[in-house]
Structure 1
């Protein structure tokens, strides 16, 4: 018994030489062309190397993306944790002023200085809000707009110009820059 060196398969004795065969078109062909086995092996090796290279690139890219995702998630969590830090540190002076006002209320019986202190705190706080982009929504005598107002009730009005307009504000609304962060609760003339 003989062995086919290219395929490592046993051959019968009469198979030792390639004989011409006819294909479907009637042409004679050798069952094995010279060098075709070696060409396929080389091509397979090249494809195998390419597969290994592409798989390695894929694994590296996948790991890099996973690290990127973890890093951005961590940064986002830190931003959420510390994002309000500057706002909160800005509120602390207002808290200090409130504490001073509370202690002065206990120490004095005069209402004038207390009133001035409360107005000062109010002004400090509204200035702080403006510095951070928070502004009140102007409502009185404005046409009712459901994008910025929430109608609590309607009341009859005698002046026809007040119909469909805001006649009273129950609770102020606020913008953060141009976005409504709290709708104004209003009374509308009917």
Structure 2
């Protein structure tokens, strides 16, 4: 009997010791799971306190970077196209100017021949229908040239201008001032702002 009671006491003591040990372990586990309370001092640690200059910038999204890149490429393409358009328009205008000048140069000898032919007509023949018709064609030709911007260069009585006149003869004339055009041997013409043909002139003094 004493042996059984002793065994029961030992078993009961071991059971109580195991239960006490389990309670201690449970209490420690609960304490470890609790989050530490952040104090005011902890919130100002160097790792958390970055300030205005210490705050890192958010990284740009790839889509935003692609949009910026495409927008920049579009602006560059539009600028290049605008430059190309202006350059093409200028080149086109220059080509037109050169072509028009070439055509005018080829027409001027015809104008010269009309003038020579009409000057050779006698007073009696000027009233004939043929001469009147030729005179009308000549005036129409001059009118058409004026409409496209062709003008005759003024020469006789004007001061000699090397940008407009080509001096081929010289004379002394007391009635005229110095360096004055006294006679025009061949008419000169200007197309807009460009000289198509210089006036061939005689210069006095």
Report the TM-score when normalising by structure 1.
0.51
Taking the aligned partners of 2:85 and 2:194, their CA distance within structure 1 comes to 32
2:79 corresponds in structure 1 to 65
Give the aligned length: 133
Q: 1:154 aligns with which of 160, 170, 180?
A: 170
Q: 1:171 aligns with which of 175, 181, 186?
A: 186
Partner-residue secondary structure (3-state), 1:161: coil
Q: 1:140 aligns with which of 156, 159, 164?
A: 156
1:121 corresponds in structure 2 to 137
Report the TM-score when normalising by structure 2.
0.48
Shift of 1:163: 4.2
What do residues 125-160 of structure 1 show as CA deviations (whole Å, max 9, x unaligned)?
111122223221221122222342222231233x34
Taking the aligned partners of 1:174 and 1:126, their CA distance within structure 2 comes to 11
2:48 corresponds in structure 1 to 34
Shift of 1:188: 0.4
Shift of 1:123: 0.5
Q: Could you tell me whether the CA contact under 8 Å between 1:152 and 1:187 is conserved in 2?
A: yes
1:9 corresponds in structure 2 to none
Shift of 1:75: 5.0
Q: Could you tell me whether the CA contact under 8 Å between 1:141 and 1:165 is conserved in 2?
A: yes
Q: 2:147 aligns with which of 131, 134, 137?
A: 131
- Aligned Cα RMSD in Å? 4.0
Taking the aligned partners of 2:149 and 2:96, their CA distance within structure 1 comes to 18
* Inter-CA distance 134–55: structure 2 relative to 1 (3 Å threshold): same
Superposed counterparts of 1:47-58, under 5 Å: 52-58=66-72
Q: Could you tell me whether the CA contact under 8 Å between 2:160 and 2:180 is conserved in 1?
A: yes
Higher strand share: 1
- Unaligned segments of structure 2, at least 5 residues: 1-44, 104-109, 111-124
Higher Cα radius of gyration: 2
Q: Could you tell me whether the CA contact under 8 Å between 1:155 and 1:189 is conserved in 2?
A: yes
- Unaligned segments of structure 1, at least 5 residues: 1-28, 89-94, 96-109
